Amino acid sequence: MMLKKRPDIDRVRGCLYGQAVGDALGLGSEFMTKEEVKACYPDGLRYYDQIVQDYHRRRWPRGAWTDDTDMMLCILTAFSDGAFDLRQVAQNFKDWAADEPLGIGSHTSKVLWMSDYVDDPEKCAKLWWDLSRQQSAANGALMRTSVVGLAPVDVEAQAAAICRLTHYDPRCVGSCVILSLMIHHLVWYDRELSFGEIRDIARRYDERIVEWIDLALEAEEISALQLDESTSIGYTLKALAAALWCYRHAESFEAGLLAVVNEGGDADTNAAIACALLGAKFSYSSIPSYYIDHLHDRRIFDHHADHFITLLSAE
């Protein structure tokens, strides 16, 4: 008799909490240049309590996650019978946007605000992509995709479909599939995808992804990615590269977290993505307890994570 495959729950938890922790600490340097990060945090940004209370940041309590993790939870709560219910995900996105959340991305809000969004989300996503002359390739789908990698089966198809609920560009779809499959292999097969395998996935979607994979592999310092460079802030391949850099070069969860947040740029999103992957790689037990214990609304997060893990374990 074949034994049924089981997910590694320590890695599942690491992925979920890693996302929230990266998001919450990354808010501390979101939209700053690296120079501004150094000026605000001379000894480095390390703790939620340090987060400066300027006009942008004081809208959130210290230790709170932002839109990245809100949207991840919209996906997580649509999990039933072993898969994510696409229509429910779209409905959850719509309901979330109706509450006028803080920090919602401009591309995402344009798509979600269309009146027929829930009935045909992909059409709405494609319309706004076409209106951008097929240039818009923001990180708004990648920032929420980590949980899709935890599903037992059909991860590639689900990651692509959930991405296209708002982001139609093949660079967005490819980056969501790559991150989700990397997490899936860690959690379900205890296996790290190689950079060769990651390139092969990328080529199925868009050749432009490959140069960012190579940059992440070859850069000795994360600063080579220029995460704070203003014209490409929010680009999906830049955020993917930050996560891949951490996957290849960071020696621990905390080392990766601190490397990303101290670069500035779209730091909450970059760290949410990178730390979901690092949490799956190094496991929940590797995340320093401070970051979990001081998450704002930690009980709410525990409730969602525990419920999801119960459903996953019952599969």
Site residues (vs Mg ion, CB under 5 A) = 66-68, 103, 268
CB 2, min distance to Mg ion, A: 42
Spatial distance between the Cα atoms of 51 and 69, rounded to a whole number of angstroms: 18
Side-chain-side CA neighbours of 1 within 13 Å: the count stands at: 2
Spatial contact of 289 and 283, defined as CB atoms under 8 Å apart: no
Nearer to Mg ion, 198 or 263 (CB): 263
CB 67, min distance to Mg ion, A: 5
Nearer to Mg ion, 67 or 155 (CB): 67
CB 143, min distance to Mg ion, A: 7
Extract the tokens encoding 224.
Answer: 């080579």
DSSP letters spanning 152-218: SS-HHHHHHHHHTTT---HHHHHHHHHHHHHHHHHHHH--PPPHHHHHHHHHTT-THHHHHHHHHHH
CB 19, min distance to Mg ion, A: 11
Nearer to Mg ion, 72 or 125 (CB): 72
Spatial contact of 254 and 288, defined as CB atoms under 8 Å apart: yes
Spatial contact of 314 and 50, defined as CB atoms under 8 Å apart: no
Determine the residue with CB nearest Mg ion.
66
Nearer to Mg ion, 151 or 272 (CB): 272
CB 57, min distance to Mg ion, A: 11
Nearer to Mg ion, 11 or 107 (CB): 107
CB 74, min distance to Mg ion, A: 14
Spatial contact of 264 and 241, defined as CB atoms under 8 Å apart: no
DSSP letters spanning 27-92: GGGTTB-HHHHHHH-TT----GGG----TTGGGS-TT---HHHHHHHHHHTTEETTEE-HHHHHHH
Nearer to Mg ion, 265 or 279 (CB): 265
